[in-house]
Each structure stands twice: as C-alpha cells, then as structure tokens.
Amino acid sequence: MDMGDGTSGSPSASTAAHEGAMVMPTTAPGPFNDADVAYAQGMIAHCSQLVEMSGLAPGRASNQEVKDLASRTMTNEKTELAAARGWLRYWNRPESAAEGGMDMGGDDGGDMKMADSMSEADMEKLKTAEGVAFDRAFLKAMIEHRNGEIEMTRGVLGDGRNATVKQQAVMMAAMQKGEVQSLTRLLAKL
C-alpha cells in the first residue's frame, strides 16, 4: 500500500519510484498458522473492495489528488492481492474462510477478528456519488479501510507465525498509519 504520495515508505517494500508500484513476495515459506491464513484471506477481501472503489474514481471524482490516489491504490492493491493469493496457494489454503472453513490445518494459532469492510449500502452510495460528494465519501471510506487494515495487522503480529507475513504486516501497518494521516489532511482540504 502506498503512503498517498506514490512511495511505499519502507525499504523492505521494493518500489519502482517512477511508477509508485510496490513489490511483495508471493510465497511465504516456513511455519504458518490460522492467524496467517486469516490475515491473507482478510487482505483479499479488503484489497478487492479497494480495487472496486478505486475503479469508480476516474469517472466520478472531481479532485485530481483523489484521482491520483485512486490510481496508486488500484496498482498497489492488485500487488497485495497477488501476494495474499500467492501465500494461500503456497500453503494450499482457500482464498476465503467460506471456501474451506476455519480448520486451516496450519500450526496452532489464535482467532483473528476480521476488520470491517465497506457495507453494500455504503458501496452503492459511493457508486452513485459524483464530484466533491464522491471525493469526500471515497476518502472517508479509504480512512475506514486503512484503519481496519491496521487492526488486521495487529492480529497477525500478535497471533501469526509466518516470518514473511509478519514482516509484510509490519511494513503495511506503518504505511497504513501514514496514509491515514495523508487521507485525513486531503479530506480536510475538500
């Protein structure tokens, strides 16, 4: 995820500075547990919704910073989706708990609370908003998503076992916190 300025904010996330693109490992060797699996599954749900939200911006946003943010978000969320899906494939686990239940078969791990995503009703409102109303609704939804993802990283850092996932979670939590600050400043300008 990016910091809102086209950078990842962490040397452990390789970036192509001119594109603002982030690179994440798509395999996660070593021991893992249910918390690692739940985190990856949660990332898929969150990233998918952020891709959908970001796809609305080119035709609905009025603020160029919001359009640019949506473009960077789309790119980085697709990278995160590829990583989370790769981890789950590597572990031979489903992309969602609904596909395979919560008996993940990894090493023992605690339950991790999934952070809330945008409701269907709020997504429908965003789909019909335009101009400044869209910009404000989009930024508010992004802030909620980022705060939810910070909570998800806390869960995997506390209960997870896989070193790759934990390393990525540390990096992402730092980026999310910085992005929440950037999003809040941008929202205040509108």
Three-state DSSP string of 111-154: CCCCCCCCCHHHHHHHHHCCHHHHHHHHHHHHHHHHHHHHHHHH
Mean pLDDT of 89-106: 72
Predicted pLDDT at 97: 84
For the question of whether the overall pTM of this predicted structure is more than 0.75, the answer is yes
Confidence band for 21, pLDDT divided at 50, 70 and 90: low
Give the range among 113-117, 128-132, 182-186 with minimum mean pLDDT. 113-117
SS3 label, residue 14: strand
Separation of CA 18 from chain center: 21
Higher pLDDT, 80 or 114: 80
Helices (H), the chain: 34-60, 64-91, 97-100, 120-128, 131-159, 163-189
| pLDDT higher than threshold 70 for residue 141 | yes
Higher pLDDT, 37 or 99: 37
